[in-house]
């Protein structure tokens, strides 16, 4: 049975909200004795010691991925690139991003490099693999004890080794709330900021969206696609409703994996152009696909109008 994306993500978000509790190690504090100082290999083929080189004294945002993941990992990574953009030059200086593979046998440094390049990640972001037993131990200490790939944890872990604070979080909620949580790992930031009480009026979700597809697009498409701005992780979608047959487009939005499996020529050309990341199968329903296509058409129309405003009536008769 296919779940529609909205149900799937609602369930995912519900399960993650309950995880925003601090993580406490048996010793009462995660640290040198808790994280294995095992060798890990970066996407550039460099060997590091996990505790000394990746965690020690640092603030980190850790996610769990595998490059063959058909659905949620590309979206997790894409949303983290939005977080990376928002944090700007803090990444690699104050805060470090770490993506741990949960499939170390297949995820070679080369595979991870191609995946990382697909998302145009900056220098403060490590993608790590290593010996399967070492990776398994590190990931289990970070709370990922999945036995099969499709049940690996979709949340992220935020930690500050200097203060010993660790917590689970999610990239599927509000990005601004996540940014606050990430910055709040820094005690100096916490001292400066007196957090404003949340204003119920400002958080209307997507109720104010002009088009019913806008919220959907923002949540599940915008991490990888823009409309009229240029390629992001995937192709820019301006004019896509004119270039592609609507039935093909709806089918591809719902089942990009099946299109690739049957060697659909358009899907194959996209795979060649964007080799690092493949469009994930997000369980989008038929209705939602139609709403998204309607939104893309509406956005195209806006862009056309803005670029080429309709001529005023009286200009029509030239002398």
| Res 104 pLDDT > 60 | yes
- Position 115 scores a pLDDT of 95
Alpha-carbon span 147 to 248, nearest angstrom: 36
| Res 166 pLDDT > 60 | yes
Strands 39-41 and 47-49: antiparallel
What the chain holds in terms of domains, given with CATH numbers, is: 15-191 (3.40.30.10), 212-307 (1.10.760.10)
| Res 14 pLDDT > 50 | no
- Position 27 scores a pLDDT of 39
For 265-286, what is the mean pLDDT? 89
Give 218's pLDDT tier (boundaries 50, 70, 90).
Answer: confident
pLDDT tens sequence across 259-270:
999 999 999 999
Strands of the sheet containing 59-65, edge to edge, are: 125-128, 95-101, 59-65, 156-160, 165-169
Query: How many other C-beta atoms lie within 10 A of the C-beta of residue 39?
Result: 13
- Position 93 scores a pLDDT of 94
- Position 12 scores a pLDDT of 47
- Position 2 scores a pLDDT of 41
| Res 94 pLDDT > 90 | yes
Quote the mean pLDDT of the chain. 83
| Res 6 pLDDT > 60 | no
For 2-27, what is the mean pLDDT? 45
For 68-92, what is the mean pLDDT? 90
The contacts of residue 120 (CB under 8 Å, 6+ apart) are 81, 233
| Res 81 pLDDT > 50 | yes
- Position 198 scores a pLDDT of 55
- Position 250 scores a pLDDT of 94
Residue of higher predicted confidence among 59 and 72: 59
Measured over the CA atoms of residue 291, residue 119, residue 139 and residue 134, the dihedral's sign is positive
pLDDT tens sequence across 111-124:
999 999 999 999 99
Q: Give the per-residue SS3 of the chain.
A: CCCCHHHHHHHHHHHHHCCCCECCCCCCCCCCCCCCCCEEECCCCCEEEHHHHHHCCCEEEEEEECCCCCCHHHHHHHHHHHHHHHHHHHECCCEEEEEEECCCCCCCHHHHHHHHHHCCCCCCEEEEECCHHHHHHHHHHCCCCCCCHHHCCCCEEEEECCCCEEEEECCCCCHHHHHHHHHCCCHHHHHHCCCCCCCCCCCCCCCCCCCHHHHHHHHHHCCCCCCCCCCCCCCCCCCHHHHCCHHHHHHHHHCHHHHHHCCCHHHHHHHHHCCCCCCCCCCCCHHHHHHHHHHHHHHHHHHHHHHCCCCCHHHCCCC
- Position 231 scores a pLDDT of 87
Give 233's pLDDT tier (boundaries 50, 70, 90).
Answer: confident
For 163-173, what is the mean pLDDT? 90
Q: Is 104 exposed, middle or buried (0-12, 13-18, 19+ CB in 10 A)?
A: buried
- Position 193 scores a pLDDT of 61
Alpha-carbon span 222 to 233, nearest angstrom: 10
For 32-57, what is the mean pLDDT? 94
Alpha-carbon span 268 to 232, nearest angstrom: 19
Residue of higher predicted confidence among 46 and 212: 46
Q: Which of 3-12, 127-136, 224-233, 256-265 has the lowest mean pLDDT?
A: 3-12
For 33-38, what is the mean pLDDT? 90
- Position 207 scores a pLDDT of 44
pLDDT tens sequence across 174-198:
888 999 999 999 988 877 765 555 5
Q: What predicted TM-score, i.e. pTM, was given to this entire model? A: 0.74
Give 3's pLDDT tier (boundaries 50, 70, 90).
Answer: very low
């Amino acid at each position: 049975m296919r779940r529609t994306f909205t149900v799937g993500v609602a369930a995912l978000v519900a399960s993650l909200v309950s995880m925003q509790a601090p993580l406490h190690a048996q010793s009462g504090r995660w640290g040198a004795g808790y994280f294995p100082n095992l060798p890990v290999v970066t996407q550039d083929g460099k060997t590091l010691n996990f505790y000394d080189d990746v965690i020690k004294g640092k603030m980190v945002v850790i996610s769990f991925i595998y490059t063959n993941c058909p659905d949620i990992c590309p979206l997790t990574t894409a949303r983290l690139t939005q977080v990376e953009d928002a944090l700007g030059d803090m990444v690699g200086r104050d805060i470090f991003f770490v993506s741990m593979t949960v499939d170390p046998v297949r995820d070679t440094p080369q595979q991870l490099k191609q995946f990382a390049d697909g998302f145009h990640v900056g220098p403060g972001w490590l993608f790590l693999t290593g010996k399967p037993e070492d990776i398994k131990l590190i990931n289990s200490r970070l709370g990922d004890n999945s036995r099969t790939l499709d049940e690996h944890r979709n949340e992220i872990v935020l930690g500050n080794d200097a203060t010993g604070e660790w917590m689970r979080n999610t990239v599927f909620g509000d990005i601004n709330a996540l940014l606050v949580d990430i910055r709040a790992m820094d005690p100096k930031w916490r001292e400066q900021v007196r957090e404003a009480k949340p204003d119920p009026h400002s958080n209307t979700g997507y109720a104010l969206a002009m088009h019913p597809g806008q919220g959907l697009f923002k949540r599940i498409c915008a991490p990888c696609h823009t409309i009229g701005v240029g390629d992001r992780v995937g192709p820019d979608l301006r004019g896509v409703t004119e270039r592609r047959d609507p039935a093909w487009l709806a089918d591809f939005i719902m089942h990009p994996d099946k299109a690739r499996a049957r060697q659909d020529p358009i899907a194959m050309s996209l795979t060649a152009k964007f080799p690092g990341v493949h469009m994930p199968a997000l369980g989008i329903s038929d209705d939602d696909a139609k709403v998204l296509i309607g939104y893309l058409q509406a956005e195209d129309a806006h862009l056309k109008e803005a670029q080429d405003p309709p001529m005023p009536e009286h200009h029509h008769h030239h002398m």
